[in-house]
Amino acid sequence: MEMTIENPVLFQRIGTTAVLTLNRPARLNALTLQMLDDIDVILDEIESDSEISVLVFRSASPRFFCAGADVNEWGAIDPEKMGSRFIRAGNRVMRRIAELDKPTVAVLSGSALGGGLELALSCDLRYALSSIQVGFPEAAVGAIPGWMGCQRLANLVGPARARQMILVGAPISAATALDWGIVNGTSETLEQLDQQIQETCDLLAKRSSVSISVAKRLLRLIEPSGTEAAHEFAATVCKSTPDATEGVAAFREKRPAIFR
């Protein structure tokens, strides 16, 4: 499946590597329901292609890997559909990425915020430029990381650091993300980052696909489960409050939110 340049999600095969590129730079790759559906379709093809050894997520934006879920889209959804549609659709795609039998790599050549960081956390490995930032700014717009980001982040960095990132909402540097284990490596230049990604993909392609598949399933067994419904409920509650209305209005009007 080869998508054209007009599409917000591009897909191509380079040897045994599948490359999925977020291609909505004018909106900083903010994720829409259509983009989630596009990724879902691409995952179908990747799962059925035994020649693909690794999936790489990249960005066409020079500034952002992904700025999160599109506020203009989810801001217009009523509270019930926020949980049952938007959050459920995102969780379905993130879960498919996390449970893919093939290894997955996120290339953070730009900052990853909100749902963009959740997408990256769904991958097995993350490599970043040293100039980028990662964070969960949802509290500033009356929302939460609804795509299992709370759980995946806490699994990586522990509850104390997860609380800092989620409750305070301030982004952290790539150096801090590396120190905390959110990213697996950093590079000073895009050329060095691309080389690191290529070397990683080459190594993964040489590994036993059976061993990788079984290891990924074994690792999932030791992770907490059963929290997707809680995320749906929590997002629904947040969306039904005046804070959510104010947060979306402030974002659109480019002003600080005034929460009461």
CATH code, domain carrying 39: 3.90.226.10
Contact assessment for residue 111 and residue 117, using Cβ atoms and an 8 Å cutoff:
no
Q: Is residue 217 part of a domain?
A: no
Q: What is the pLDDT of residue 82?
A: 82
What contacts 156, CB < 8 A, 6 or more positions away? Answer: 121, 180, 181, 182
Q: Tokens 């990662």 label which residue?
A: 134
State the total domains in the chain.
1
Spatial CA neighbour of 163 closest among 149, 175, 177: 149
Q: Mean pLDDT of successive 10-residue segments in the chain (260 residues)?
A: 68 96 95 95 95 97 93 83 86 94 97 97 98 96 91 94 96 98 97 97 93 86 66 80 90 92
Q: Is residue 21 part of a domain?
A: yes
- Among 118, 199, 232, 253, the active-site one is 118
Annotation marks residue 118 as catalytic: yes
Residue 257 lies in a domain: no
Domain enclosing residue 189, as ranges: 9-206
Q: Single out the catalytic residue among 138, 199, 232, 253.
A: 138
Query: CA nearest 7: which of 47, 41, 51, 56?
Result: 41
User: What is the pTM assigned to this prediction?
Assistant: 0.89
